[in-house]
Structure 1
């Protein structure tokens, strides 16, 4: 008993530097993991209006990565290299099994992480993806919450947005509106274009740069189509494009009427019916 106890004490004393080194390495890496996690949080921004959940998840993944690395190094320093290898191998097997079992969830998580770094859209932006258009309300790891114009809340999976083309209508604050109005073939088209252009330019919510434009869009059987293009700045006012478009259309309608143009609603294709006399009396030949 005494010899066994002395042998155990000698072994503990001989391995004390390795144990201390292992503990020190584990503590240092845990501390570094916390610092790295905080640095990642500051880099990504902890603003609650910009999808704070994905930031927390990324910080947690960074911290746990350093914790696992510290544990593996500690096991290796105390001579438990085989245990560390088995631990990593078991973790790899579990990761593979979970990856197959939760493939769709994993795809959404990875897509959410990539979307967090790419910053192709943000809360408050008007986006369209896979035929769904709405204003972004929340950006989560698994999905993106948008609200459509009719008030419907839709949660689009992150992988859907990541795999499909994304249309961001408000990223730079510029949006273009357009509509078509028709004038009679007998009207002066150039004068009509100039009249419409001045009307659009005089509107207080349309931009001078990019400049508005009036183009001949096509010819129909009853009238000539003029297409009106204009731009608005969504950052400088709280009016929606649809409301501004209605105001511009109303102004163009009134201006054409005041200037004497025959616009599309007044154009008619009626045919004048002229009186026709038909003589049904025929001379009869007598035999």
Structure 2
């Protein structure tokens, strides 16, 4: 009876300690899940990513708590840890593409290289961001196509965000004939640019000779505009410059080549 009593006390203490480890560990895991969710909410991250990450943290911690409780009961957990590790490895290998997209989605939501509504160029395509999801990013193209890009491809290449800043520079290259007056052409270009009320005064527009090309003298026209006015100014300035050059009799030459014929003895 004394032996039985000692065994009951011994194993009873183990069961009590295992229960304490389990319930305390479960409480801590729940608290950490709430903490992670709160931190992600402060970062204004997507609700789906908040729920997914916080739940993943909770069950990962709960798994270790269960293993620790079983170890307190005297159960050999080495084989159990090996099985859990092997299962995790198998799942990771099977879902490595999805996990890569998920990790990239988390990075996008944390570092915010772009937001919904920005016009971006990623993975070789351009469009307005309509959705940023955990595994994919969705773009709407200017011709109203929906493009779904895996987040792994988004983060593995260069991201060009055209909407980050409030202003953009319009870059035009205008060619004039070698026989035209450069100073007159520059003055006309400046008048056309300054006549457009959407062009910003600061920074000042830049108009200069950039190249002595084969068929023309090329001038750059670089005014600054609000980002939302970029394409409107680009198209309107191109048309206005052509019309004003026609009025001022400043030519925009076609590509041309001089051909010299030399007489020979056969056709002299």
TM-score by length of structure 2 reads 0.79
1:247 matches 2:243? no
1:106 matches 2:99? yes
Range with bigger deviation, 128-137 or 101-110: 101-110
CA contact (8 A) 1:51 1:138 kept: no
Residue ranges of structure 1 left out of the alignment (5+ in a row): 271-287
| Residue matched to 2:205 | 212
| Residue matched to 1:197 | 190
Residue ranges of structure 2 left out of the alignment (5+ in a row): 257-268
| Residue matched to 1:92 | 85
1:77 matches 2:88? no
Deviation at 1:222, TM superposition (A): 5.1
CA contact (8 A) 1:181 1:227 kept: yes
Change (3 A) 1:243 1:42: farther
CA contact (8 A) 1:137 1:145 kept: yes
Change (3 A) 1:71 1:228: same
| Residue matched to 2:54 | 59
Range with bigger deviation, 70-79 or 130-139: 70-79
1:262 matches 2:250? yes
Deviation at 1:124, TM superposition (A): 1.7
Counterparts of 1:164 and 1:112, CA distance in 2: 14
Counterparts of 1:40 and 1:201, CA distance in 2: 54
CA contact (8 A) 2:43 2:110 kept: no
Counterparts of 1:147 and 1:269, CA distance in 2: 38
Alignment of 1:14-163 (within 5 A): 14-45=10-41, 51-80=46-75, 82=76, 84-163=77-156
CA contact (8 A) 2:185 2:250 kept: no
Deviation at 1:66, TM superposition (A): 2.0
TM-score by length of structure 1 reads 0.74
Range with bigger deviation, 146-155 or 176-185: 176-185
Summarize deviations over 1:104-140 as a string: whole Å, max 9, x none: 2232223223333332222222221231111111112
Change (3 A) 1:164 1:96: same
Aligned residues: 256
Counterparts of 1:160 and 1:90, CA distance in 2: 33
